[in-house]
Amino acid sequence: MPELPEVETVMRGLRAVLEGRRIVRAETMREGLRWPFPEGLAGRLTGAVVTGFRRRGKYMLARLDTGESLLIHLGMSGRMVARPMAGPVVPFLGPQGVFSDARGHNQPPEAHEHLVMETADGTRIGFVDPRRFGSVDLVPTAAEDAHKLLAGMGPEPLEVDFSPTSLSTALAGKRTPIKAALLDQRVVAGLGNIYVAEALFRARISPRRLAQTIPGARAGRLVPAVKAVLAEAIGAGGSSLRDYVRADGELGRFQDRFSVYDREGQPCPLCPGPGPGPGPGSGCTGVARIVQSGRSTFYCARTQR
DNA sequence: CTAACGACCTGCATGC
DNA sequence: TGCATGCAGGTCGTTA
């Protein structure tokens, strides 16, 4: 589910139900996800007021009034679910893995719900992650960016410090394909398989091109392409592929605007379509799928060089 | 140092 | 119908 636009969308959903609210109850259903949960996670969340949110790359940070921040990564399959409790909230801990409402009605967790939080105004927020590649940690708010998972991350792509100049510097001398370089969170934060493909298409750059050949004019096309595709995707509420993205259950809509991702064999928006003869479509065999470092890459071999 | 690869997990679509 | 296979929005740690 989660590249930058999806994480931004989820974070905004969480902000709507959590910001300014007190967590009156929290519970974990297992020891951890990708890594063990921090010691005493549920206890350290209980009673805390969520004072604000921010996103860093694909990570969400929920600032608490306890001096700590909750750090969440959705991994491949993580999502946040929010729903109203059935009645007024009373502190009652049900059996392991089961939340109960004020009338004692059990609200069993849905499958793969690993962490639940309940607010004073009666909203239940769950972290659901079937593949358990996600992660949760607590970090001192004053030193958020020093966290091991955040330190060393590249610039935020929508900020001004992600520029043709800075990207050129980051890519200088790199002999890896540009596709792999853009997936490297130390180069730029928040891109994943979808938006790398879409940005390279817009910049008309082949994903196979070596990163060291990007500095200069190509970086001048690539940076605005990255910014534009991310901004449009955020505006559409992200992309929904196999899972729901938004905390309110609404689907993102950007998947309808993919130019190349998951469109193998279909014509790209710049080519009329596969076909013989002269003209704008000649030599076009539609969107190609190749495998780079074990992951699918989609691109148009005619327009992307 | 860099780049490639396995590992971590479950669910789903596909094909025999 | 059942079963095997491959693939999926990520990224960390190990190996070469």
Query: What are the pLDDT digits (tens) for A175-194?
Result: 999 999 999 999 999 999 99
For the CA of A108 and the C1' of C2, the distance in angstroms is 31
Domain extents for chain A? Answer: 4-146, 164-299
CATH of A164-299, one of 3.30.70.1520, 3.40.50.300, 3.40.50.720, 1.10.8.50: 1.10.8.50
CATH of A4-146, one of 2.30.42.10, 3.50.50.60, 3.30.365.10, 3.20.190.10: 3.20.190.10
**Is A291 near strand B, with its CB below 7 A from some atom of it?**
no
Is A36 noted as a catalytic residue in this protein?
Answer: no
Q: Is the pLDDT reported for residue A263 higher than 60?
A: yes
Which residue carries 């938006």 as its tokens?
A: A195
- Angle of CA points A163, A168, A174, to nearest 5°: 140
Looking at residue A177, the DSSP 8-state letter turns out to be B
Give the Cα separation of A113 and A171 in Å (integer): 40
CA A217 to chain centre: 29
Question: Please, which pLDDT band fits residue A123 given cuts at 50, 70 and 90?
Answer: confident
Q: How many CA atoms lie within 13 A of A120 on its CB side?
A: 11
Please indicate if the annotation marks A179 as binding a ligand: no
β-bridge mates for residue A289, sequence order: A298
- Which nucleotide comes closest to A131 if you measure CA to C1'? B9
Which residue carries 């020891």 as its tokens?
A: A31
Residue range A49-56: mean pLDDT, rounded? 98
Q: Is the pLDDT reported for residue A88 higher than 90?
A: no
pLDDT value at position A89?
37
Give the Cα separation of A279 and A121 in Å (integer): 63
Which residue carries 């853009």 as its tokens?
A: A182
- Give the lowest-confidence range in A39-48, A136-145, A240-249: A240-249
Question: Please, which pLDDT band fits residue A139 given cuts at 50, 70 and 90?
Answer: very high
**Is A175 near strand B, with its CB below 7 A from some atom of it?**
yes
A166, containing H or E segment: helix A164-171
- Which tokens hold the place of A155? 């610039």
Question: Please, which pLDDT band fits residue A51 given cuts at 50, 70 and 90?
Answer: very high
Q: What is the pLDDT of residues A287-299, one digit of tens each?
A: 999 999 889 999 9
Whole-model pTM: value is 0.92
Give the Cα separation of A31 and A92 in Å (integer): 21
A154, A205, A217, A161: which is closest to A183 by C-alpha? A154
Which residue carries 């951890």 as its tokens?
A: A32
Is A295 noted as a catalytic residue in this protein?
Answer: yes
Mean pLDDT of chain A: 87
pLDDT value at position A275?
56
Q: Is the pLDDT reported for residue A277 higher than 50?
A: no
Give the Cα separation of A86 and A101 in Å (integer): 6
Residue range A207-233: mean pLDDT, rounded? 97
pLDDT value at position A143?
96
Is A3 noted as a catalytic residue in this protein?
Answer: yes
Residue range A219-246: mean pLDDT, rounded? 86
